[in-house]
Structure 1
Amino acid sequence: MKKLLDFPYSHVLVLGLAKSGTAAAKLLLDNGIQVRINDMKTEENDSVVVDLRKMGAEVVVGSHPLSVLDDIKLVVKNPGISYDNPIIVEAKKRDIPIITEIEIAYQLAGHSIIGITGSNGKTTTTTLITEILQASKRPVKVAGNIGIVATEVAQTLTEKETLVLELSSFQLQGIEKFRPNIAVLLNIFEAHLDYHKTFANYKQAKCNIFKNQTSDDYLVYNADDDVIVSELKNAKAVLVPFSISKKVEQGAWMDEDFVYFKDEKVISREEIVLVGKHNLENILAAISAAKLNGATNEGIRSVLTSFQGVKHRLQYVGHKLGRLFYNDSKATNLLATQKALSAFDKPVILLAGGLDRGNGFDELAPFLTYVKAMVVFGQTKEKLKQLAENTGVNEVVLANRVEDAVEKAYSLSNEGDIILLSPACASWDQYRTFEERGDMFIQAVHKLV
């Protein structure tokens, strides 16, 4: 197991346990660093608290007293804790550095990192890069926002292995020296403003992925995204563009028939099984990053001719009597649902709805061309019903939950129809996570007779 070398902080506060906080605390303790832990929700008799105390940690749970900052030299913050948390506000006043767990992972892993971020498409691109490198016999491990704690993986990384990291804006806002050898920036649009407060703050967090890069590194970026292009003046890395709309000399692009990396034909477009225009962007980004890391065209083709998507992200679930079912439960915002609807040119029955965050849905209207019916549920069902009626969707049906919506959608469908769960809303009004919502959809599809 790797050890932290020359770690300059003698006393660290880990704020928030969860998976990443627990892993970071254990790592620091294993390296002989004094650790204090503060978590609001965990209880005194929780097994994690008991274990960490046995390892030598001081653990304060149930409240956030400012005294937890006394004598602290560094705060390792759970990415989900906002910067207006009283402990974070006070830490800033005391000039205590605040980082997230990926900064520690970088200090373990070193420079051999491919980091992927963007408002949409991170998990699909991360998975594609990982699978392409594996198919190309390149030694690789994957971690980060994809659900695998980065510090745990970084401890086991060998010198020959590359760490592929999915990175959220929450994680990237808390870096100091983090520097991936290959950074991938997919897209930037307004998101998570409840956390970042302004689009400028959110954009800066995303662009942190390349702020420490040098001319020895690579920045793979979406040449069709004007927000990203406007930020490149600050980049020092070698720029590697990708584009679905035009030829780019130094990156990945496509014409009507083939996908290219620079001037080299990589794969025929008709061989790619993953649907959706947005997924073509993800594919070009993945090809670029993987080729820079030594991937072969054979490895790329073996993945792209079989990869049908990441679970809950425009995932093909199956077919029944000629109806095709797709699970896009991860579509928790309007843009994600717009991209899902753009993937199909056949009749679609759209299942949508969920948590009401106060926004309208008029921006979906231009994307409903192929939608023949909508089944709506959750807190936003009346808003979505109004959208359907205003845009001339033939039928709109109210449902209680996703499970009910599947049955109603099936009863409205004909052979050749697409039945698509793409909610355009978060799940928290009825489900704990978008994964739980998607699993309920899959189960309901399999129960159909």
Structure 2
Amino acid sequence: MIHTTKFQHKKVLVLGLAKSGVAASMLLHKLGAFVTVNDAKPFEENPDAQNLLKMGITVICGRHPEDLLDEGFELVVKNPGIPYTNSIVKDALKKNIPVITEIELAYLVSEAPMIGITGTNGKTTTTTLIFEMLKAGNRKPKIAGNIGTVACGVAENASIDEVIVTELSSFQLMGIEQFKPKIAVLTNLYDAHLDYHGTFEEYAKAKFGITKNQTEEDYLIFNKDQDVVADWASKSNATKIPFSIKGRMKEGISADDSMIYWEGEPFIHRELIALPGKHNLQNILAAIAACNIYGCDKSAMEEVLKNFSGVRHRTQFVREWKGRKIYNDSKATNCLATKVALEAFHQPIVLIAGGLDRGHSFEELREAMKNVKAVVALGETKHRFIEFAKSCNVKKWDIATNIEEAVEKAAQLSENGDVILLSPACASWDQYKSFEVRGDLFIEAAMKLS
């Protein structure tokens, strides 16, 4: 760890606990800051706050006092989930008190270089691929951020010969000042989190914070196939590495139907890739680019590509059963994600869909439904989804009361050579605590098929 004196004897407010707030509080305390933690959860129900108090950290729980900033704080470290419209955050900025997130702390104390991955979709898959490839190539990666351990906790213990691979949200990237990854990856940009950012422009600006401090000695890997990404990338000072799945390019990394190219030269055969889908091919190109820049051996990358079947709950291959391939895409909680999953397959699909009814239309799926031969619907949207499927000329359909029954009915509707795909296009909260719980139950039911 780099023992920076930047925070020594400074009064710092950590706003919001959870994992990132706890890690930030402990690190700042270790660096000699006078830390105060403020969290909405009552103290008696807040074991994290209780533990921090024992360390000598001031805690204020159960409320957000209006006069909190009168304590003379010189810095606010906020939980990424707390919006900038929060009254304390707004007051801090009005008083010219810097407001950062824990990823900034991670950067300031890390001896290890960082590879940062952001984008609307594909972050987790790309992050995991980079980590697995670097691990296979003995490059000593550590995974952090939205997956893995909180970034500042990882950075505190990382050595100079290691590398931190971190998935970054727009929420985290809004709160950076000096953060500068050696390699930045931007997978894509679509409308998302507008309730937090207000406009797409502000959302895109937050995402591109990943490259704002980069120089030509750093690298920005970006999706050339998306105009909005290419336009934003053109403003970066980093060395730019575009990726494209639209055919061979002389620059960056690209792919056609049979080959992946590095700077226009054949690099890796696509037939090695186990992970289906055009969206995953984009993730793979971004990951290969990052690892190639970092000096990872090509054979290590190829070995991972042969065996990588997807991140859990994201078009994850579960098993083959009587000639059917079964995939878990429980993370698909909106139509765009399900559309991408459907487009990943050329075989006939038996689709399991439905869940929480937010009143959204399924019309975005219409064109992607062409390979769907049967539908099993569940949850609050089950009847609406069946009516939509019928309008797409899906001839076979059924309704299930839960995920286990849905798997059984999908198995009955399927034939040798089909894909059975859970890709709900809806959140899980009408029946299940999270998409992870829904996906785990799906896997369990699929493994019981005999």
- Name the structure 1 match of 2:337: 336
Aligned residues: 449
Deviation at 1:359, TM superposition (A): 2.1
**SS of structure 2 residue aligned to 1:160:** coil
Could you tell me how far 1:111 is from its partner in structure 2? 7.1
> What SS class does the counterpart of residue 267 from structure 2 fall into?
strand
Per-residue CA deviations over 1:156-210 (Å, capped at 9, x if unaligned) read 1111111111111111111111111111011001111122221111111111111
Mapped to 2, the partners of 1:94 and 1:235 lie a distance apart of 30
Superposed, which structure 2 residues align to 1:14-413 within 5 Å?
14-70=14-70, 71-109=72-110, 112-413=113-414
Q: Structure 1, unaligned stretches of length 5 or more?
A: none
Range with greater deviation from structure 2 (312-321 or 399-408): 399-408
Q: CA deviation at 1:410?
A: 1.6
Aligned 8 A contact 1:99 1:174 in 2: yes
Mapped partners of 1:118, 1:42: distance in 2: 35
State the Cα distance separating 1:258 from its structure 2 match: 1.6
Residue type of the alignment partner of 1:267: I
- DSSP-derived class of the 1:256 partner: coil
Q: Give the counterpart letter for 1:371 in structure 2.
A: V
**Distance in 1 (alpha carbons) for counterparts of 2:2 and 2:437:** 35
The 3-state SS of whatever aligns with 2:307 is: coil
User: SS of the counterpart of 2:317?
Assistant: strand
Alignment match, 2:6: 6
Q: Do the aligned partners of residues 309 and 410 (structure 1) sit closer, same or farther apart at CA in structure 2, a change above 3 Å counting?
A: same
Question: Following superposition, which runs of at least 4 residues in structure 1 exceed 3 angstroms of deviation?
Answer: 1-5
Structure 2 CA distance for aligned equivalents of residues 57 and 355 of structure 1: 41
TM-score (norm 1): 0.96
Residue deviations 1:418-447 (CA, integer Å, cap 9, x gap): 110111222223222221111111111122
The change in CA–CA distance for 1:42 and 1:146 in structure 2 (over 3 A counts) is: farther
Displacement of 1:315: 0.5
* Change in 2 beyond 3 A, CA 1:284/1:42: farther
1:438 and 2:445 are equivalent in the alignment: no
**What SS does structure 2 have at the residue aligned with 1:44?**
helix
Change (3 A) 1:299 1:264: farther
1:24-78 alpha-carbon deviations (Å, 9 max, x no partner): 1111112221111111135425332221001111112222222332222211111
Query: Do 1:261 and 1:287's aligned partners in 2 also have CA atoms closer than 8 Å?
Result: no
Pair 1:272–1:91, CA change in 2 (3 A): same
CA distance in 2, matches of 1:8, 1:385: 61
Kept after mapping to 2: 8 A contact 1:188/1:228: yes
* 1:429 aligned partner, one-letter code: D
**Unpaired runs of 5+ in structure 2?**
none
**RMSD of aligned C-alpha atoms?**
1.7
SS at match of 1:152: helix
- Greater Cα shift, 410-419 or 221-230: 410-419
Deviating more after overlay: 66-75 vs 136-145: 66-75
- Cα distance in 2, alignment partners of residues 77 and 29 from structure 1: 16
Structure 1 contact 111–181 (Cα < 8 Å) conserved: no
Counterpart AA for 1:10: K
